[in-house]
């Protein structure tokens, strides 16, 4: 009969545990993180540079707040 410990999963049985991962897997993880950061930076730049907020309250008939300097 096999021991119960041999059948159970443990972190030490995983090939990528405790800095034993392959170089290609490390590079893939770094690339995914880098691409995520770049997408976030590009999104933020476009959001803050090209989003136009329309704060005007009123119509031509009822102009609302007068914002001209006097």
| 20-70 pLDDT per residue, tens | 788 888 899 999 999 999 999 999 999 988 887 666 677 777 777 666 766
Q: How far is CA 34 from the centre of its chain?
A: 10
Work out the pLDDT band at 3, boundaries 50, 70, 90. Answer: low
Which has the closest alpha carbon to 16: 25, 7, 8?
A: 25
pLDDT over threshold 60, residue 1: no
Distances (CA, A) of 65 to 11, 14, 61, 69: 66, 67, 12, 12
Task: State how far the Cα of 38 lies from the Cα of 65, in Å rounded to an integer.
Answer: 41
| Global model pTM greater than 0.85 | no
Give the model's pLDDT for residue 67.
66
């Amino acid at each position: 009969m096999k021991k119960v410990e041999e059948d159970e999963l443990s972190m030490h049985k995983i090939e990528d545990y405790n800095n034993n991962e392959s170089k290609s897997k490390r590079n893939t993880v770094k690339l995914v993180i880098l691409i995520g950061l770049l997408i976030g930076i590009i999104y933020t730049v476009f959001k803050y540079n090209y989003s136009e907020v329309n704060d005007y309250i009123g119509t031509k008939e009822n102009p609302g707040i007068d914002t001209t300097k006097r």
